[in-house]
Chain A
């Protein structure tokens, strides 16, 4: 049994190792992966002998063997400092005979000599024959002691603390703490409500000085702005005098902070975390497509947090992407279909809107139609569009290019989250074709324009005066803009958090997003809009769910062959090697 468990964990670790290779450049440390996952040693964990990779630290070994060792300061992607002392464990080494051979016990396994002094799991790499006790009376006393020490000067203000519900002090108190306090002295007073930067507030009394934030800023961001001042129990986290913690990844420290010391100005006091429904998704603010968790309640997205994915974003995401959720409640949000009559837009029903749109497309020749497909649509939406265009015989299709602010870390220079998907489906020339459409509209070559994904073609270079010449201007999107205001039919669509689908990021990784909240008002997911439009235009329809669309698409698009919706999984699938993709292989394919 124990052997099998070891093997399972071992296989898991190999997989992790392989996917992890891609973020080695991103993280200076990856303690959760051994130097050589195949170089195994025998270790005894709580009485059970296992095979684990040599040198892996004891916290990770315990994790892989399902014997959890609690910790505060340790994080697999940051340097090891060993300051919280929560991961103290009892360590043993093989007993040796005079000839330096191990003393064997009755069970045929080496006997272990246990050290009286506990060791920290985070800084101890395993060696052959090591004994590990994660649950002995000494270990329990160590944890109980650390919990008591951490809480004596803690303000215990859980009822008004944003971290409550996902706080390691709370969690470990339940597991390892004592119900009552023996502390009757006055607590240490420290600064509260400290403005650490544009997006972060610090409560120094809650801080347990684990230094995760300090290490993240210094080691991952190379922005050495946080540190401790003062000494002993008066030690205080602060930003360097005159500096502010403002870099674009600062909010990751809020995730890293195991307690309620660092809180996000955007999220604090908005919602108790235990009310949040968590939905696995991806960020669509640029072409990187960081894995995310959407935290929502009653149809409102309250926060976006990074979800660990070593192939994409490790444990991090940028503040820009994280906070790019407020457009969901923007006053420009399109809630109902709009139809233009006598020069003005009026709300209408979906039936009328789809009918008017189909009618419009039917009035012009296929070669007079141009379609802005958008790199913001999912593969499924693009695929339904592709079917529609194929049936109509429309070939003039492209996406609008969006330039992102590349930062050499996570943010991509490509602002389209699914530009690669559009290329893959043959619906994109990367904006090259689109650049001549303004002139073609003016010359009358293009008489109908279908704009998807809420693209503002006015901002993209087609003058409003040209759009006014069009016989048919159809617009589908989330927010109203210059283009939508000129459209004959406006079809309100759903945002990332409101829909299910897949996208391909700039590195060629196929990933899924899942609907967390319903779209507001009468807004609908694009694939449904396009399906209905297709039905109205050509009568074709055999697609009843996103999974159906995927299945049909996997049968047609060679890169998706053999992939089922389930197979994509939560971490996505790499379509081609990253290196070749970055050279543009996918574009040629």
Chain B
């Protein structure tokens, strides 16, 4: 068991970093590329959708919504308008760098997954919305599309099945909010990436150009290829129930071996990831805190114990007390611990980290990225940043921690999109879990910051 946990289960990352593996189509095909596409085209769209549903695949973008269910909102047979599929490659959550690896090192895997997903849902036109800052990735994807077109995997009458599909790469508008599903759609339509008001909660009915639209993450679409390859049930056997398949994990921060890893969902605990896979905390330091799913996830503190309901062997729900390092890295466990699996970005902090400055840094990011559409986020997030910057600079006030919490509480749940929560959750969790540290920082006011966080704040 111990050894099993340390061994990666590479599915999406199978060929990544394999010596001699290149991103051109010839290499991809040599490794069995586009064979699954042929299989999928022979299966038919409904069968693929069925397999994806059986696989219990959950979206890898951050929210973890079941992909099969998302797809089922659209019935290609009954829809008169065109159906669009958008690949969300606007990866910009701090601490997350998995999609970038796929784009840079195995672009055709993404295309194969995309083409299969498009075929399954009767999509004739799809977009790959790629983060503006991924300049290299954009060029790589354009080249990969060209190769796929030349090879007959895209365009008219794909592999003589009569199925037509075109995919365009659209470069993002250079903002975090462009990764929000509806903001992305607005941006793709040529407007400011202002997220749309909900409901409708999904763009399934009124999406791109007011047509039914599916938006999936890069990793999610790659997984579709593997589901078609092995079948939904076999895929569901990887990982745990309701938390199936593999998950790309991006570990950053104070560990010996940070980087990207792929494991079955829930196959290992946070402690195993940090200590066994990543070689432990660096410099022999102690673990202080972990942000388990990208910078917007609530922070978990070392030494915390969580009450979690878990299905026992007899099928009954059991209440269990679980320590931080024993938390399974899956959607449900992390949600039960009050945080989230999010985008898979695991940020590890050791005991030398100043929590005030860490939070000030996170808030500076969200204040910079708030789109400015709705009031609580536009005004509140910048306010959070300013208070935190002031505390970090040694001008804190006694009431500041309470004020920070109140401001954050008045943002979360009251905004147009989930950005409000993304900006408020770190503040809420840092303040409540590291209250003493904030108070101490305020008490020793006047002493300047030890780190260079302040330069980030201005």
Contacts and interface: CB of A to CB of B under 8 A. Distances in A.
Interface stretch (B47-55, B117-125, B413-421, B447-455): B413-421
A178 B339 CA distance: 33
Interface string B370-404: 11111110111111001100100000010100010
Nearest to B377: A232
A414 B16 CA distance: 76
Interface in A159-188: 182-186, 188
B114 interface: no
Contact of B382 (A80, A123, A141, A233): A233
Interface stretch (A94-102, A143-151, A460-468, A484-492): A143-151
B368 A185 contact: no
B383 A185 contact: yes
A390 B206 CA distance: 68
B369 interface: yes
A231 B376 contact: no
Contacts of A234: 372
B403 A182 contact: yes
B411 to A, nearest CB: 8
B379 A150 contact: yes
Contact of A232 (B367, B390, B403, B415): B367
Given A85-B415, A117-B413, A142-B414, A232 B378 contact: yes
B372 A84 contact: no
Contact of A120 (B197, B368, B387): B197
Nearest to A123: B197
B383 A183 contact: yes
Contact of A149 (B371, B397, B410): B410
Contacts of B416: 82-83
Given A188-B382, A231-B370, A84 B375 contact: yes
A142 B375 CA distance: 11
B375 A232 contact: no
B427 interface: no
B454 to A, nearest CB: 15
B308 to A, nearest CB: 22
B175 interface: yes
B192 interface: yes
Interface residues of A, number: 38
Nearest to B366: A232
A233 B374 contact: no
Given A117-B413, A185-B387, A228-B372, 19 more contacts: A81-B373, A82-B416, A83-B375, A85-B375, A85-B415, A146-B375, A148-B410, A149-B378, A182-B403, A183-B383, A186-B386, A209-B373, A209-B378, A231-B370, A231-B372, A232-B381, A233-B367, A233-B370, A233-B379
Contacts of B399: 182
B197 A118 contact: no
Interface in A531-571: none
28 contacts: A80-B197, A83-B373, A83-B416, A84-B374, A84-B375, A85-B415, A88-B414, A116-B413, A118-B414, A142-B410, A145-B414, A148-B410, A149-B379, A149-B410, A150-B379, A182-B399, A183-B383, A185-B386, A185-B390, A188-B382, A208-B375, A228-B192, A231-B368, A231-B371, A231-B372, A232-B368, A232-B369, A233-B372
A152 interface: yes
Contacts of B380: 145, 149
Given A232-B369, A233-B372, A152 B197 contact: no
A399 to B, nearest CB: 51
Nearest to B381: A232
Contacts of B382: 153, 188, 232-233
A130 to B, nearest CB: 14
Contacts of B370: 231-233
Nearest to B402: A182
Contacts of A141: 410
Nearest to A182: B403
Nearest to A211: B373
Nearest to B197: A82
Nearest to B413: A117
B239 to A, nearest CB: 30
A150 B414 CA distance: 14
A285 to B, nearest CB: 37
A184 B397 contact: yes
B374 A83 contact: yes
B175 A231 contact: yes
Contact of B379 (A120, A152, A182, A228): A152
A22 interface: no
Contacts of B378: 149, 209, 232-233, 235
Contacts of A186: 386
B376 A146 contact: yes
A25 interface: no
Nearest to A234: B372
B374 A82 contact: yes
Contacts of B397: 184
A152 B382 CA distance: 10
| Residue in A88, A153, A227, A233 with the greatest tally of chain B CB atoms within 10 Å | A233
Contacts of A83: 373-375, 416
Nearest to A154: B379
Interface string A443-479: 0000000000000000000000000000000000000
A152 B410 CA distance: 14
A235 B416 CA distance: 16
B373 to A, nearest CB: 5
A227 B372 CA distance: 13
A308 to B, nearest CB: 26
A118 B413 contact: yes
A123 B415 CA distance: 13
A232 B413 contact: no
Nearest to A151: B379
A82 B381 CA distance: 18
A85 B414 contact: yes
A80 B386 CA distance: 31
Contacts of A146: 375-376, 414
Given A185-B383, A233-B382, A145 B372 contact: no
A89 to B, nearest CB: 11
A270 interface: no
Interface in B399-458: 399, 403, 410, 413-416
Contacts of B368: 231-232
Contacts of B386: 185-186
Interface string B159-192: 0000000000000000100000000000000001
Contacts of B379: 149-150, 152-153, 233
What 4 pairs between A and B have smallest CB-CB spacing? A145-B410, A235-B372, A149-B379, A185-B386
A230 interface: yes
Nearest to B368: A232
A85 B369 contact: no
A232 B390 CA distance: 20
Interface in A490-508: none
A149 B197 CA distance: 20
Contacts of B372: 209, 228, 230-235
A235 to B, nearest CB: 4
